[in-house]
Amino acid sequence: LKNMPDPITAKRSIWLPFMKDNLKVDEETIIIGHSSGACAAVRYAEQHKVAGIILVGAYTSDLGDSTEAASGYFSDPWQWDLAKANVDWVVLFGSTDDPFLPWKEQEMVATSLGAELHKYENRGHFMDQTFPELIKVVQEKIKQ
């Protein structure tokens, strides 16, 4: 398992090439992205075919935060249709009590991608050490 480079700003210009060149993400890969990683997963899927994406705490804007703005994920419009065309399926885990991400943004990602939405009211930003619901989804998708 490799750590992502640039973990604070999570720059698009660094993460997407790293996913392609170092992690070798391809059409058989399931990308699991949390927070900034969810943004990276969608942006990657806009340009490349992948098996599926699992998004945890996904959002659509920089939320007025300068670090988020510097990441580059929000500098151009989302290409939802391209991302949908390049994945076989999308699952999104979101929580209405996320202290960082407004529910309306999480819901917009799910709607825009036609995602299978797993909505919670008590998971915050999904920072728990375990996530059995995610493991179950991965296992189900691998069996298909």
Per-residue pLDDT tens digits for 6-35: 999 999 999 999 999 999 999 999 999 999
H and E: helices and strands count for the chain? 6, 4
Q: How many CB atoms lie within 10 A of CB 72?
A: 19
Contacts of 129 by beta carbon, 8 Å cutoff, 6+ apart = none
By annotation, the residues acting in catalysis are 35, 98, 125
The whole-chain average pLDDT of the chain stands at 97
Reported as a pLDDT band with limits 50, 70 and 90, residue 1 is low
